[in-house]
Amino acid sequence: MSMGKILVVDDDINICELLRLYIEKEGYEVVIANDGGQAVTKFKTEKPNLILLDIMLPVLDGWQVCREIRKTSQCPIIMLTAKGEVFDKVLGLELGADDYVIKPFETKEIVARIKAVLRRVGGNTVPSENSMESSRKEVKFDKLVINLTNYELKVNGEQIDTPPKEMELIYHLASNPNRVFTRDQLLDEVWGFDYYGDSRTVDVHVKRLREKLEGVSDKWALKTVWGVGYKFEVKE
C-alpha cells in the first residue's frame, strides 16, 4: 500500500531519478515532471499528496507553478533550488511554499522533510512538551476557531484558506496564550526536524497570518515582542 504520492519537479533527469529511488524505497509513489508546464498538468491529473518543486525550470518557473497551484490547492510544497539568497527564500514562502531545501542536499534529508510535512498535514502533529493544550487539536477564541485536525481556520464563522505551515504556527501560538516564543523556538517546535531555515522564515509566516487576523477581535492579538519573538496575547 502506497504511503502517498509525491510529484517531483526538476529539469535535471538524474536528480529526478535519484529522488525517485530513495522516495520509492520509503513506500511512496513518485510522479516526475521535467518542466513547469508538465508540473501543473500532472498536479491536476495525478493529485499528489506533496510536491518537490525546483525553481529554475523551463516553460514555467517554480514561482509560477507555485502560484498556479495555490490558486486551487493547499497541497504541501517543498521548494528545491540551488539559490540560497534570502530574497528567494522569502519569495517562496510568500507564495505559499511550506519548506525550502537548498541544493546540493542529502536525499535522507529530503525523505525526512517529506515524512515530517505529510505527518503534520495528516493531523498527527506532535505538540510541544511544554504545551498546556497537548491533548487538543482545536482552540477557540472570540471570533476565531483554529482546528488543526482538519486544518481549518475560521474567522467570524468564515473559513479562511490557510497554508499548512501557517495553520501549525497559529495553532502552536494560540495553544500557549501569552507565552513568548523566540524565532528559534518556533523554527524548532513548529517546523521541526532540524529545519535549516532562518528567523526570516518565521517573520514571513507571521506577516501572512496578521493579514488574515488583524483587527478581528480586541480580546486577542498576534503580538511581536521586540528583540525576543512572538506571542498570542489574550486579554483578561
Name the nearest CA neighbour of 176 among 130, 142, 214. Answer: 130
What pLDDT digit, counting tens, does each position of 23-44 carry? 999 899 999 999 999 999 999 9
- State how far the Cα of 233 lies from the Cα of 218, in Å rounded to an integer: 10
String of b and e for 195-233 (b: at least 16 CB within 10 Å)?
Answer: beeeeebbbbbbebbeeebeeeeeebbbbeeeeebbbbb
What pLDDT digit, counting tens, does each position of 186-232 carry? 887 887 655 555 678 888 899 999 999 989 999 999 999 998 999 99
CATH of 138-234, one of 1.25.60.10, 1.10.10.10, 3.20.20.70, 1.25.40.10: 1.10.10.10
Site of grid cell 464563522: 157
Q: What is the pLDDT of residue 128?
A: 39
What pLDDT digit, counting tens, does each position of 60-112 carry? 999 899 989 988 888 999 988 776 655 566 676 677 787 878 888 888 888 88
Minimum mean pLDDT range among 2-6, 46-50, 214-218, 222-226 = 2-6
What pLDDT digit, counting tens, does each position of 159-191 carry? 898 888 888 899 999 999 999 999 888 887 887
| Domain limits, the chain | 5-121, 138-234
Q: What is the pLDDT of residue 127?
A: 37
CATH code reported for the domain at 5-121: 3.40.50.2300
Residues in the chain: 236
